[in-house]
């Protein structure tokens, strides 16, 4: 079993590792893991704050534009026109009022009055007049007396994505007509695009409707020409009943829901389904694995049952801990090399002189050296070597004394 015998240098190396390297490695692992958890918590907190802030900004924008169209529906010129849709003078006055309302904001494309049959009878853009919108939910809902914010859909006039805000035109409790505003998506896209990289490298946000269809994504920043290829991507398959509703409302223009590209995010879908509607609530989720893992926060809007999502690669926040892990590993490797070098050099400095002494003692014991002239070097080497050499030298002197004494006794006989 000699091959299992642990050598002296191996013992020294093991001692150096146990005393120097192992504690450092353990402490580094624990501290780095704690740091990573703290950085992740801090990152999620930042994401939550930003997501809530952006969702609030979108909510405020929607409420503001809804308030605008409600106010338009109460303008005297609009009410008078609603009372007599055949009056040319009232129509002219209504057009002036509608044009003034459309000039309020650059994203307003058109403001119009829709008669009870669903036809646009007066508009800030004359070419809009005569268009039938009776199939639009924003018309049917507002004509029942409830102001409405539509989901983004392709306008039958411009064939571009737009939001529609509508409100009833009333005379007392009677609904006379509907006013609606067609608003392009630029303002909402601006808000969402503002979150690109806002809370760290790789941060991105997107807005989804209550069916999980992307309405705006931060990646359109600087690439508005690619917007239509980036939006309208559902996070999960759409059920048949919803498909029928979307087709009836012409949500995607000439596209059908079957033509939509699904970009699945099952963890987000699960979290989104659990978020209550009508109140601002947020929840965390994650997707991806290993270095591609992303942490996100989804926040429910109140003006519409939409949700805003902000996600960041977790490595963005844990980079410092990851760098520390690399540094710790490098330090352990360097420590191992140093321990090996020190162990070898230290044992050699101790063992080589001892082996020399052992060799000299062996020569004395086998008679290869005359006791009268044999001696051990007690001056060179370190203190331990000198002590061992001195002990051997004293033993040699004792042997020499007894040997000479025996020789003298033998001579007398």
Q: Are residues 201 and 152 in the same domain?
A: no
Q: What is the pLDDT of residues 210-219, one digit of tens each?
A: 889 899 999 9
In the listed set 184, 217, 235, which residue is the last one of a domain according to the structure? 184
Return the pLDDT at 9. 60
Mean of pLDDT values over 383-407: 72
Which residue in the block uniquely carries the two structure tokens 């650059």? 106
Taking 90 as the threshold, does the pLDDT of residue 412 lie above it? Answer: no
Q: What is the average pLDDT score of the chain?
A: 82
* 169 domain residue, yes or no: yes
How would DSSP label each residue in 163-175?
A: EEEEEEEEETTEE
| Between residues 319 and 272, the one the model is more confident about | 272
pLDDT the model gives residue 326: 65
Task: Summarize the confidence of residues 45-69 as an average pLDDT.
Answer: 94
Q: Distance from first CA to last CA of the chain, Å, rounded? A: 51
Clarify whether residues 175 and 293 are in a common domain: no
Evaluate if residue 335 carries a pLDDT over 70.
Answer: no
The answer on 285 and 137 residing in a single domain is no
Q: Residue 225 — pLDDT band, cuts 50, 70, 90? A: confident
- Last residue of a domain, which of 287, 317, 347? 317
Query: What pLDDT, on the 0 to 100 scale, is given for residue 205?
Result: 95
The pLDDT of residue 246 is: 79
- Torsion angle (degrees, nearest 10) of CA 292, 295, 299, 305: 30
Q: pLDDT for 128-143, tens place per residue?
A: 999 999 988 999 999 9
| C-alpha span between 367 and 357 (Å, rounded) | 15
Quote the pLDDT of residue 8.
62
Query: Which two structure tokens, joined as six digits, stand for 243?
Result: 């498909």
How many degrees, rounded to 5, is the angle at CA 75 between CA 72 and CA 80?
Answer: 120
Domain range for 307 is: 30-64+188-317
Q: Which two tokens stand for residue 103?
A: 């000039």
For residues 173 and 249, which has the higher predicted lDDT (pLDDT)? 173
Residue 25 resides in a domain: no
- For residues 113 and 36, the model is more confident at 113
With 70 as the cut, is the pLDDT of residue 98 above it? yes
Residue 246 lies in a domain: yes
CATH number of the domain encompassing residue 95: 3.30.450.20
Would you say residue 320 has pLDDT above 60? no
CATH number at residue 56: 3.30.450
Same domain, 40 and 138: no
Q: For residue 301, what pLDDT is reported?
A: 96
Whether 23 is covered by a domain: the verdict is: no
Give the integer Cα–Cα distance in Å for 17 and 336: 7
40 within domain boundaries: yes
d(CA 167, CA 79): 12
Same domain flag for 250 and 353 = no
* Mean local confidence (pLDDT), 302-308: 95
In this prediction, residue 386 has a pLDDT band, given cuts at 50, 70 and 90, of: confident
Q: How many CB atoms lie within 10 A of CB 286?
A: 15
| Domains: count for the chain | 3
Q: Which three-class secondary structure state does DSSP give residue 317?
A: helix
What pLDDT is stored for residue 407 in this prediction? 59
Q: Is the pLDDT of residue 345 over 50?
A: yes
Is the pLDDT reported for residue 322 higher than 80? no
Burial 4-23 (b: 16+ CB within 10 A, else e): eeeeebeebbeebbeeebee
In this structure, the answer to whether residues 397 and 350 fall within a common structural domain is yes
Residue 178 sits in the same domain as residue 208: no
| 326 domain-assigned | yes
Q: Indicate the helix (H) or strand (E) that contains 113.
A: strand 108-114
Q: What is the pLDDT of residues 156-200, one digit of tens each?
A: 788 788 899 999 999 999 999 999 999 999 999 999 999 999 888
Q: Answer yes or no: do 285 and 295 share one domain.
A: yes
The pair of three-digit structure tokens given for residue 190, joined into one six-digit string: 């601006």
Task: Please tell me whether residues 110 and 173 are part of one structural domain.
Answer: yes
* CB-based contact 13:340 (threshold 8 Å): yes
Do 288 and 195 sit in the same domain of this protein?
Answer: yes
Dihedral of alpha carbons 346, 347, 348, 350, sign = positive
Residues 308 and 193 in one domain: yes
At residue 176, the pLDDT reads 97
Question: Residue 371 burial (CB < 10 Å; 0-12/13-18/19+)?
Answer: middle
**pTM for this entry:** 0.72
Residues 6+ apart with CB under 8 A from 54: 191, 192, 194, 195, 205, 299, 308, 310
- Regarding whether 265 and 195 lie in a shared domain, the answer is yes
Rounded mean pLDDT of 143-166? 89
Structure tokens at 356: 């020399």
**CA gap 208, 188 in Å, rounded:** 12
| 21 in any annotated domain | no
Among 128, 152, 184, residue at a domain's last position: 184
Give CA–CA dist 352/146, Å, rounded.
98
- Pick the closest to residue 66 from 202, 180, 154, 192 (CA basis): 180
On the question of pLDDT at 1 being above 50, the answer is no
Q: Which of 23, 13, 29 is nearest to 336 (CA)?
A: 13
Residue 298: is its pLDDT beyond 90? yes
In the 8-state DSSP scheme, what is residue 115?
-
Higher model confidence: residue 165 or residue 359?
A: 165
């Amino acid at each position: 079993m000699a091959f299992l015998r642990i050598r002296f240098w191996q013992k020294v190396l093991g001692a150096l590792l146990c005393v120097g390297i192992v504690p450092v490695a353990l402490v580094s692992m624990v501290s780095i893991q704690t740091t990573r958890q703290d950085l992740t918590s801090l990152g999620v907190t930042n994401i939550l704050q930003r997501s809530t802030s952006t969702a609030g900004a979108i909510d405020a924008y929607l409420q503001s534009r809804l308030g605008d169209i409600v106010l338009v529906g109460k303008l005297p010129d609009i009410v008078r026109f609603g009372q007599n849709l055949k009056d040319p003078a009232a129509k002219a006055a209504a057009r002036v009022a509608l044009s003034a309302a459309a000039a309020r904001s650059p994203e307003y494309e058109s403001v119009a009055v829709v008669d009870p049959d669903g036809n646009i009878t007066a508009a800030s853009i004359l070419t809009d007049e005569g268009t039938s919108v009776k199939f639009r939910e924003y018309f049917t809902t507002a004509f029942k007396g409830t102001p409405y914010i539509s989901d983004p859909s392709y306008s039958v006039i411009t064939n571009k994505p737009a939001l529609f805000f509508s409100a009833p035109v009333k005379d007392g409790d009677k609904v006379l007509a509907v006013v609606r505003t067609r608003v392009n998506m630029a303002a909402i896209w601006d808000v969402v695009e503002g979150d690109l990289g806002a809370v760290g490298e790789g941060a991105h946000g997107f807005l989804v409707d209550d069916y999980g269809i992307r309405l705006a994504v931060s990646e359109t920043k600087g690439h508005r020409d690619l917007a239509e290829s980036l939006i309208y991507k559902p996070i999960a398959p759409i059920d048949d009943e919803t498909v029928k509703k979307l087709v009836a409302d012409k949500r995607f223009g000439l596209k059908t829901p079957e033509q939509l590209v699904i970009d699945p995010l099952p963890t987000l879908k699960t979290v989104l389904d659990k978020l209550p509607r009508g109140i601002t609530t947020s929840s965390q989720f994650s997707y991806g694995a290993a270095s591609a893992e992303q942490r996100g926060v989804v926040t429910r809007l109140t003006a519409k049952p939409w949700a805003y999502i902000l996600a960041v690669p977790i490595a963005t926040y844990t980079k410092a801990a990851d760098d520390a892990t690399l540094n710790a590993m490098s330090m352990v490797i360097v420590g191992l090399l140093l321990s090996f070098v020190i162990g070898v050099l230290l044992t050699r400095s101790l063992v080589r002189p001892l082996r020399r002494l052992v060799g000299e003692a062996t020569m004395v014991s086998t008679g290869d050296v005359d006791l009268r002239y044999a001696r051990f070097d007690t001056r060179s080497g370190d203190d331990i070597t000198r002590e061992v050499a001195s002990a051997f030298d004293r033993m040699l002197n004792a042997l020499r004394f007894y040997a000479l004494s025996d020789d003298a006794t033998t001579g007398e006989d």
